[in-house]
Structure 1
């Protein structure tokens, strides 16, 4: 590796004793875990959306990889390895690393896989000089899924054109000039691509449509192609016949497969060999000199901010931190309109607190509570949750459908939009990844009576 000295300099101030109070884990426990991991014959470490959605998700993931690297567990049997699925795409990392920042009215920005920070969208629409004027939403619901609901509603009301492609009219669709019905998962052919690279034994499956589309539903690619055609732009409809799976066919070709070949199989499935280990350092590292960059210069600003955040938390730790909560009864802002999933405490989204915090606040199950952050305030009901430690509270997001006239069941069980407590606008996202800050939010909690 290279820039090892930068990695050492960054972690030096953060001994177990120094961080114990801030992270809420005893120093001895941290030392025991560090010793167990480093002395194990083989060890693997994983993190996902919970940490990624915090203020330092990229640095956390970088440190995870460095932990695996310096302990000899990266690209080793029993440790962490690079998964490719049916489409080897390691070179995309080099393209992303070289993506530069550029100046904008909202500060320095960079494209991440072609995208800009969603938390800046309302600011871009409401910009006095060069406002964004149109938006197409595909199966999304940013009004309830992003921070700053009032500002999102204001921004959407100012658009000259809002097209929403979905199965239902959700909270965002209420603002649409055009709501276009798309096919659902049983009405279209599909291929599993979302888990690409996340399977130890990679497989790919093609599934044909099971039933014809209801009413005037159309596949998303067709809707977008028709819009392009109407604007005089090239589209998939220029080909005869159209080939919406052409790119996927090119991807599959990297593994010697094709849509036609998969479709001819009885179950549409091809199981691929597990990723070959021992190739990471010779074939997959994308730095020009093929050495692992242990402290990329691109991280310089984030490393400085990390120290400031740590000092802030040590000097004035928040009484409560709000984290994400997921349940089988809710997936983002979906499942709202399914009657069977609106039962008992799952008919709304209570604030989950530890039993210790319930007692300290004098709360009983179901009592109303005020939850307030620097960005908003809401009224919720209290629910005791033994899985939480004191000082941590949690709520499911995507609720708040009181005004969603297209969702009868959801409107009867609206819940509250926890994202009203989240920041929005410049400074509310991580610059390296463009990920919005959505967890670990400092809040205060008090009985509503």
Structure 2
């Protein structure tokens, strides 16, 4: 038996921690994974990993994983060869578009799409041939307000300033729990050590959350806030900065700051306190402490994006950093200069060039909000969606009103899924095409290097050989494109492997703090532990992509949304507000089939404050019924004083008890889906992003 040691990054979450993977070749030639550990020589993660990384071998060995194309005939699944599968897709999709128009085919791309570079480089090679405006992704149940804010203020949706966590003196976190998420739109391995380092150097960590989260538990200060009202708090902080002249001058070119000052003048701490549930004195002191710090970061993440005023929240986060002089400043927030620079090589994008057919929701970057997907399938008429392609996604569990989406999927004429599993969504597919596993292909993090707290780069070689008869995700897209082009007569440009595309991107990229330095794939292969390209540094002024190359502080679309905020209704009598939560051993809906991740205490319960339980005559551990406008679930409730009164919390991604799902461990521990309660009509109306937090619910005994 021969042992080998491999080095690569884990790409299951945004932290991209470096791994040392030991394999052993058996006498019969098979290769087994012996151990997965953190790589102490990794230039970025420094040996840190979380439990998800160790579960990479569980993904590889999972008996429930599909390893060949499968076609559904009635309720049965049958193997089909690749060429026949490609031909079937081309035939069915081309026929549906010929009869009903190009927009009759929809596309949904899930979160793993940005974690696999073959999907990033080649998905549009096929999907682009469909020429449909019905494109959807997990972006609009997550970070769309980030992108829209950067698009409107800085001219590019990926020009997102990142917290300089290693040098800041004051970190304010809203709607984020990096100890559970490992950072998000902040690629930051070993985040707990980095947060505690702020405190060790005399700085301060403040967390604002309706739950005393894992991150809040280590903070110097935790402030409860009413769900969905972060904009009220942020407006009050910004107003205080202006009112008390706490701002600091900035070197950046900015338009419209006086207009912002005037627009927020009525949103005082005293006026906003009643809405957000935070005392006015606490809000004002927070603003003073933030402004007084030598350097400070205001960081708002998913919890403030997935609410009714998500874009307004992200805009206010940017303005608080700008007004205090912490935008584009060491110790504040800074933009990366990645080795493969997508911002430099692409245009700023577009917003609201077209709208969804039924509810007129706006597109962003060629995608419509996923909250519109089900109604586009269910509403008859010209342009009705009749076929769907899903890529690495499970929207039944991850998008609003999952039960409505199930109804819509059941009525489609054809559905194709690229996935490993027969899950809650893909069980409706006519055809499932499985790519190679995570350790069977190489990888480069085009996305998360752009959000890293240092400028870093690495190329990840495959650990295991591609199995005979298997295809990488990018090869599947090439096969689909060739079959579809042959069927329709569409022109098709030559393709190249993703590693060649990355090599080209590297050769045009730069690093270092002096002159541009050329990189190549060959260079990265010589550095299996990755390359550190230096700390983030000020560069925003030179990278702005607005028409006049100035920051647009008073973006008209966002300023207009202040009126909608001022007119928002108050929660009804007796209603509780639902929020989600994350766990370090989970990753949305797709990490529940691995024993090492789901073992231990159950974590899919509804968390509820003891006072709220008592008021309703409920007991800890009791099974309860939770109702919203769109649906009802039954789940075990757990008393928790970490919850704010009036707030309940249910984790995202569970609910595996649907019939037809073929995932053994997951279906044995199904939990309940929070998205059977979330409302497809409850949106950030500016961006169309789903409002998954602050959903009104009623809780009663089951």
Indicate which of 373, 385, 393 corresponds to 2:628.
373
Deviation by residue 1:93-113 (Cα, 9 ceiling, x = unmatched): 9723x5344354324443323
Deviation at 1:401, TM superposition (A): 1.4
Residue 335 of structure 2 contacts residue 537 of structure 2 at CA under 8 Å; is this kept in 1?
no
Distance 2:696 2:317 in 1: 25
Deviation at 1:58, TM superposition (A): 1.2
Q: Structure 1 93/223 Cα, relative in aligned 2: closer, same or farther at 3 Å?
A: closer
| Aligned twin of 2:103 | none
Matched, 1:261 2:520: no
Deviation at 1:344, TM superposition (A): 4.9
**Mapping of residues 30-49 of structure 1, within 5 Å:** 30-49=283-302
Indicate which of 119, 127, 132 corresponds to 2:379.
127
Q: Structure 1 401/100 Cα, relative in aligned 2: closer, same or farther at 3 Å?
A: closer
Deviation at 1:65, TM superposition (A): 0.7
Distance 1:303 1:168 in 2: 44
Deviation by residue 1:79-120 (Cα, 9 ceiling, x = unmatched): 122223223444689723x53443543244433232111111
Deviation by residue 1:325-370 (Cα, 9 ceiling, x = unmatched): 1112321111221233334542x61101123323333333211112
| Aligned twin of 1:414 | 670
Q: Structure 1 224/397 Cα, relative in aligned 2: closer, same or farther at 3 Å?
A: same
Residue 329 of structure 2 contacts residue 537 of structure 2 at CA under 8 Å; is this kept in 1?
no
Residue 262 of structure 1 contacts residue 268 of structure 1 at CA under 8 Å; is this kept in 2?
no
Describe the SS at the equivalent of 1:273.
strand
| Unpaired segments ≥5 residues, structure 2 | 1-253, 511-517
Distance 1:90 1:157 in 2: 40
Q: Structure 1 362/214 Cα, relative in aligned 2: closer, same or farther at 3 Å?
A: farther
| Aligned twin of 1:160 | 413
| Aligned twin of 2:547 | 288
Residue 308 of structure 2 contacts residue 685 of structure 2 at CA under 8 Å; is this kept in 1?
no
**Mapping of residues 45-444 of structure 1, within 5 Å:** 45-90=298-343, 95-96=348-349, 98-129=350-381, 130-214=383-467, 216-232=469-485, 233=490, 238-239=494-495, 242-253=496-507, 254-255=509-510, 256-263=518-525, 265-267=526-528, 269-277=530-538, 279-281=539-541, 283-309=542-568, 312-313=569-570, 316=572, 319-346=575-602, 349-402=604-657, 403-424=659-680, 427-444=681-698
Distance 1:61 1:108 in 2: 23
Structure 1 window deviating more from structure 2 (372-381 vs 221-230): it is 372-381
Length, aligned pairs only: 435
Distance 1:105 1:138 in 2: 23
Q: Structure 1 286/405 Cα, relative in aligned 2: closer, same or farther at 3 Å?
A: closer
Deviation at 1:431, TM superposition (A): 4.3
Describe the SS at the equivalent of 1:136.
strand
Q: Structure 1 54/243 Cα, relative in aligned 2: closer, same or farther at 3 Å?
A: same
Distance 2:621 2:582 in 1: 19
Distance 1:261 1:113 in 2: 33
| Unpaired segments ≥5 residues, structure 1 | none
